[in-house]
Structure 1
Amino acid sequence: MDPYKVLGVTPQTSDDDVKRAYRELARKYHPDNYINNPLADLAEARMKEINEAYDQIMNERSGKTAGASGGQQQYGGQQYGGQQRSYTGANAALYSQVRQAINQGNLGMAEQLLQRAAGRDAEWFFLMGTVYYRKGWYDEAARSYTQACQMDPSNLEYRTALNNLNMSGGYGGYRPMQQASMCDFCLQLAVCNCCLNSCCGAGC
Structure 2
Amino acid sequence: MEDIKRAYRELVKKYHPDRYHDNPLKELAEEKLREINEAYEYLLNNHEKQQGGYSSSYSSGGYYGQNSFSDFQRVREYINRGDYFSAERELNRINIRNDEWFYLMGLIYINRGNYSVGYDYIKRASEMNPYNTEYRDALYRMNNSYRSYNTHYYNTPRRSNDDCCTICTYLYCADCCCECLGGDLISCC
TM range (shorter): 0.3 to 0.5
Whichever of the two has the greater Rg, that structure is: 2
The structure with more helix, counted as a fraction of residues: 2
Q: Higher RCO, 1 or 2 (CA under 8 Å, sep at least 6)?
A: 1
Q: TM-score, normalised by structure 1?
A: 0.41
